[in-house]
Amino acid sequence: MRTTRLYLSPPDAGPRDRELLLDAFDSNWLAPLGPHVDAFEKEVAAVVGVDHCLALASGTAGLHLSLILHGVGPGDQVLVPTLTFAATANAVRYVGAEPVFVDCTLGTWTIDPDLLDEELTTARRSNRRVKAVITVDLYGQCCDYGRIVEICKRHDVVLIEDAAEALGATCNGKPAGSYGAMGVFSFNGNKIVTTSGGGMLVSHDARLIERARHLATQAREPAPHYEHRDIGYNYRLSNLLAAVGRGQLESLAQRVERRRFHNRKYRERLESLDGLTFMPEAPYGRCTFWLTCLTIDRKRFGTDRESVRRHLDARLIEARPVWKPMHLQPVFSSCRCAGGAVAQSLFDSGLCLPSGSNMTDAERDEVIELVLEARSS
Ligand SMILES: *Cc1c(COP(=O)(O)O)cnc(C)c1O
């Protein structure tokens, strides 16, 4: 019997992160700028294959800024997958715009390109002003950008990529975050690379990042007396936290490998069981499996998702239902949703299993045994 709780995706930090953090501390750059911030931005840009990056206090701040930069505001609509974390849709509300939700596909769990195309066509016919699409690379899996980039171009809407969960993933050989006009990453404590809290806004367009940097720095004009022409935000990342992020980023490849390894082992033991279906890896990309997720068919497996989750919880193992779709959230209940049944079924039966890069083989095997036990108990 365990004595400490096994978490879904806890921070995985080590001596290198600590060393860089102390270097930042000793340099006295205790500020939301400094040499580690500059270096972290360059290093993330290299990993993501973009030219420009802005380190931020959160991924949510990146989503907010990207909408402001594209002039999204009251009267505008923004298409968002319904299966996501609330931060994606909240950012749309921050700028006074209206989220419109779109269902996902069973094959990828990401936004359905056909429904997206259809919804953009419907919106144009009914004179609804859709200004942007925010795609979400869910649980470490990229959306189908081979199709989505073309669809957004044809409908003349800007594509913003919420890659908060997908640092290290690729689609057609190109990194997550590099497909949109802007891409957003999160370094929250549960993400694959963490700064305890933080984010990154990335783009191929220097002017967008320059403008974002200005707004994120309280919109201070270059004048000694603090001149302001715009409403600004205090959104920049601390130099101390950027130092931690640099250490974490050095081992990104190993972090991805370890999460993929857990996914492979979970599948080897559980995939053949009747009623268990894992989130598929889309053929066009390489998923990080930030979280390993599966659905549980109560009739075929013999017990339901909640029973399995509670069985694990009673033994100090954290597992969580798949994101509750936004169109089912009370706060967004008045919003339009194209489809929604697929996301709802994934929510009803989907479970995320412990997937941390520092989870041991023995811990993972314990999770597997308990899932099997939940069936027979
Ligand atoms: C974590 C997450 C965010 C928010 O990132 P923060 O850094 O916590 O603000 C946004 N979107 C998705 C899909 C996420 O998983």
> Which of 229, 248, 267 marks a domain boundary?
248
User: Is residue 9 in some structural domain?
Assistant: no
Both 156 and 195 in one domain: the answer is yes
Both 181 and 271 in one domain: the answer is no
Q: How far apart are alpha carbons 234 and 314 in whole angstroms?
A: 41
Residues with CB under 6 A from ligand 1: 58-60, 84-85, 87-88, 136, 162, 164-165, 186, 188, 199
User: Is residue 6 in some structural domain?
Assistant: no
Residue 337, domain CATH: 3.90.1150.10
Is residue 357 within 8 Å of 255, Cβ to Cβ?
A: yes
Residue 252: in which H helix or E strand, if any?
helix 252-270
Residue 258: in which H helix or E strand, if any?
helix 252-270
Both 170 and 140 in one domain: the answer is yes
User: Is residue 229 in some structural domain?
Assistant: yes
pLDDT of residue 376: 78
Both 87 and 163 in one domain: the answer is yes
Task: Give the structural domain span for 306.
Answer: 252-376
The atom of ligand 1 lying closest to the CA of 198 is 7
Count CB atoms within 10 A of the CB of residue 254. 11
Pocket test for ligand 1, best of 162, 293, 320, 324 (most atoms within 8 A of CB): 162
pLDDT in tens, the chain (377 residues): 789 999 999 999 999 999 999 999 999 999 999 999 999 999 999 999 999 999 999 999 999 999 999 999 999 999 999 999 999 999 999 999 999 999 999 999 999 999 999 999 999 999 999 999 999 999 999 999 999 999 999 999 999 999 999 999 999 999 999 999 999 999 999 999 999 999 999 999 999 999 999 999 999 999 999 999 999 999 999 999 999 999 999 999 999 999 999 999 999 999 999 999 999 999 999 999 999 999 999 999 999 999 999 999 999 999 999 999 999 999 999 999 999 999 999 999 999 999 999 999 999 999 999 999 999 76
> Which of 248, 270, 288 marks a domain boundary?
248
User: Is residue 190 in some structural domain?
Assistant: yes
pLDDT of residue 62: 98
pLDDT of residue 377: 67
Both 220 and 94 in one domain: the answer is yes
Residue nearest to atom 13 of ligand 1 (CA): 85
> Which of 248, 273, 305 marks a domain boundary?
248
Our measurement of the distance from residue 141's CA atom to the centroid of its chain's CA atoms, rounded to an integer in Å, reads 9
Q: How far apart are alpha carbons 209 and 206 in whole angstroms?
A: 5
> 58 C-alpha to center of ligand 1: Å?
8
Both 244 and 256 in one domain: the answer is no
**In this structure, what token pair is assigned to residue 285?**
């990309």
The values of phi and psi at residue 338, to 5°, are: -85, 115
User: Is residue 100 in some structural domain?
Assistant: yes
Is residue 216 within 8 Å of 223, Cβ to Cβ?
A: no
User: Is residue 224 in some structural domain?
Assistant: yes
Q: How far apart are alpha carbons 48 and 206 in whole angstroms?
A: 15
Of the candidates 132, 126, 141, 140, the residue with the CA atom closest to the CA atom of residue 190: 140
Per-state percent for the chain, helix, strand, coil, to nearest 5: 40, 20, 40
Both 119 and 37 in one domain: the answer is yes
Count CB atoms within 10 A of the CB of residue 365. 13
Both 200 and 271 in one domain: the answer is no
Both 232 and 268 in one domain: the answer is no
Both 194 and 48 in one domain: the answer is yes
User: Is residue 5 in some structural domain?
Assistant: no
> 162 C-alpha to center of ligand 1: Å?
8
Instruction: Give the angle 51-238-166 at the CA atoms, nearest 5°.
Output: 50
User: Is residue 2 in some structural domain?
Assistant: no
Both 181 and 143 in one domain: the answer is yes
Residue nearest to atom 14 of ligand 1 (CA): 164
Both 56 and 203 in one domain: the answer is yes
Residue 307: in which H helix or E strand, if any?
helix 305-314
| Tally of domains in the chain | 2
350-353 and 158-162 strand pairing: unpaired
**Identity at 249, one-letter amino acid code:** L
Residue 140, domain CATH: 3.40.640.10
Is residue 170 within 8 Å of 146, Cβ to Cβ?
A: no
Q: How far apart are alpha carbons 62 and 205 in whole angstroms?
A: 15
Q: How far apart are the first and last CA of the chain?
A: 17
Q: How far apart are alpha carbons 310 and 306 in whole angstroms?
A: 6
